[in-house]
Amino acid sequence: MVLKEESVSWALSHGLMVSGGVAPITLLPSSFSRPLIERALDISPIFNELVHQVSLNTDFIQKTLHSVDHDQFTKNLLEILSQVTSEGVTQPIGLGIHRSDYMLHRPAGVALEDTQLYQVEINTISSAFPSLSTLTSTLHRYLIERHSLSAYDPKNLFPNNSRKGVASALAHAKSLYPASDSVIMMVVNSSELNSTDQRLLEYQIWEDHRVSLIRRSLTDIGQRATLDPTTKTLSIDGMKVAVSYFRSGYKPEDYPTDLEWKARLTIERSNSIKCPNINYHLVGTKKMQQVLAGPGVIEKFLSTEKCQKLRQCFTGLYSLDPTDSPQEIIAKVLSNPDAYVMKPQREGGGNLLHGPAMVQALQTMSPEEKGAYIIMDKIVPPAKDTWVILKSGQLALMDAISEIGTYGVYIGDDKKTYLNECVGTLVRTKSRNDADGGVCAGVAVLDTIYLV
């Protein structure tokens, strides 16, 4: 109880919070294999490069995503891509703040040394929690060192400062914009549950780089932003925007009216450096993930050596596009639904279909509706008893599994790479019985890495 009370007090004192309460966290770090974590860190810059190289090939993006036209949200994004491509790209520099998420795969009967690291997804827009993941790491180190917890060697605590790395990437991008009297604009929801994570990043940018960041919603931008017809400079409330950083805009609910879609198009047509630009956003779709994992596809964009490293973390991904004759995979899923999950194009927790809901979807959706989804082999991570502190501040014991994310930052155009690094990690732990959902969705808790 001492550790719990101290954790809650520390969290409230340092801003480790979500929507006004203590962020749900594990009491202490979780153990992970050092070689597998090192593998995830090693391939982070390679995934950054892959996203960038694919983003430069607009034809490939459009052809790959043709089958998700039935998904109106993705269709709208593709229409924006088509328009800005036909008009001519006004800002060749792209800023990527990506998070590649993984789970360990160790089904029953598999030896510890045969545990695999499989990619769940790569997020190319609104990769959340760089600030809160940093604070959770700081808290866990404090508890272990302050109380001399003998079960943990501080040397094996993974040193995580993703907030500082992401802040540096945003400031670096801003420095590449010609107008020094410009700002970074964070695109946010008007009612944001995760504002503390965002605010702490804003303050880090100012503290380290003396760069101003403003917060505006898509509605604000649609109502008040202007675009210079000659220079394509984006301005709002009298300020020039150097970097448009999306922490919103990744789900249909973020675009309740045509005004918000107008705002997104205005940003994309501008010469601000987008994080992400529309190309990066679309490269992060699940359909793109499935296609890139296919034979010989990533080899079109990367060296053989880099492709071999990435393919080690690919699990089975299958198309439901009617033109790909998906009857065989659908039959396999219906005969053994516990071995698969069904994923839409959506970002954010709570969108995955599994079990009876997946079976019903496959049996009732039209071929075109199914084409907006992919099938993925179910990853079976090892579970462990984990003490967690819930948002209510209560302590609970959870039969838990974990998802590990690496933050990668990339700045580049079609000729030059300005930055390509892995800058930190995020661990989210949840009950083994919860198939989907994140921290803000009320399912997962923040965790950190103890290397073994």
Do 343 and 205 lie in a common domain? no
Do 423 and 360 lie in a common domain? no
In this prediction, residue 441 has a pLDDT band, given cuts at 50, 70 and 90, of low
pLDDT tens across 186-233, in order?
Answer: 999 988 889 999 999 999 999 999 999 999 999 999 999 999 999 999
For residue 316, what are its two tokens?
Answer: 């089975």
Bind-site residues for substrate: 99, 198, 428
Q: Please tell me the predicted confidence (pLDDT) of residue 435.
A: 63
pLDDT tens across 139-163, in order?
Answer: 999 999 999 999 999 999 999 999 9
| Residue 321 phi, psi (nearest 5) | -60, 125
- Would you say 364 and 353 are in contact if contact means Cβ atoms under 8 Å apart? no
Neighbours of 51 (CB within 10 A): 25
Do 300 and 228 lie in a common domain? yes
Cα torsion 52, 53, 57, 61 to 10°: value is: -60
Residue 20 confidence (pLDDT) above 90 = no
pLDDT tens across 336-386, in order?
Answer: 999 999 998 766 555 789 999 999 999 999 998 898 899 999 999 999 999
Which residue stretches of 31-129 are H helix? 34-55, 58-64, 72-87
Do 231 and 263 lie in a common domain? yes
Do 320 and 364 lie in a common domain? yes
Do 385 and 374 lie in a common domain? no
Sorted by sequence, the CB contacts under 8 Å of residue 379 that are 6+ apart come out as: 103, 104, 105, 118, 120, 315
In this prediction, residue 442 has a pLDDT band, given cuts at 50, 70 and 90, of low
Do 256 and 345 lie in a common domain? no
Do 164 and 294 lie in a common domain? yes
Do 213 and 336 lie in a common domain? no
Q: Which residue has the higher pLDDT, 423 or 343?
A: 423
Do 257 and 123 lie in a common domain? yes
- Would you say 291 and 371 are in contact if contact means Cβ atoms under 8 Å apart? no
Domain boundary pick from 378, 400, 423: 378
**pTM of the prediction?**
0.94
Query: Rounded CA gap, 224 and 323, in Å?
Result: 44
CATH number at residue 340: 3.30.1490.50
Do 289 and 327 lie in a common domain? no
Domain boundary pick from 378, 402, 423: 378
What is the number of domains present in the chain?
A: 2
Could you tell me the CA-to-CA distances from 242 to 19, 246, 275 in Å, in that order?
29, 13, 11
Do 330 and 386 lie in a common domain? no
For tokens 């509706």, what's the residue?
369
Instruction: Pick the most confident of 68-77, 270-279, 429-438.
Output: 270-279
Bind-site residues: 99, 121, 123, 198, 286, 347, 376-379, 403, 428, 430, 436
Domain boundary pick from 378, 393, 425: 378
Bind-site residues for Mg(2+): 121, 123, 347
Task: Classify the phi-psi angles of 359: left when phi > 0, otherwise alpha if psi is within -120 to 50, otherwise beta.
Answer: alpha
Mean pLDDT of 107-125: 93
**In terms of residue numbers, what domain contains 371?**
316-378
Bind-site residues for ATP: 121, 286, 376-379, 403, 430, 436
Residue 38, Cβ density class (10 Å: 0-12 exposed, 13-18 middle, ≥19 buried): exposed
Query: Rounded CA gap, 187 and 249, in Å?
Result: 8
Query: Rounded CA gap, 90 and 230, in Å?
Result: 11
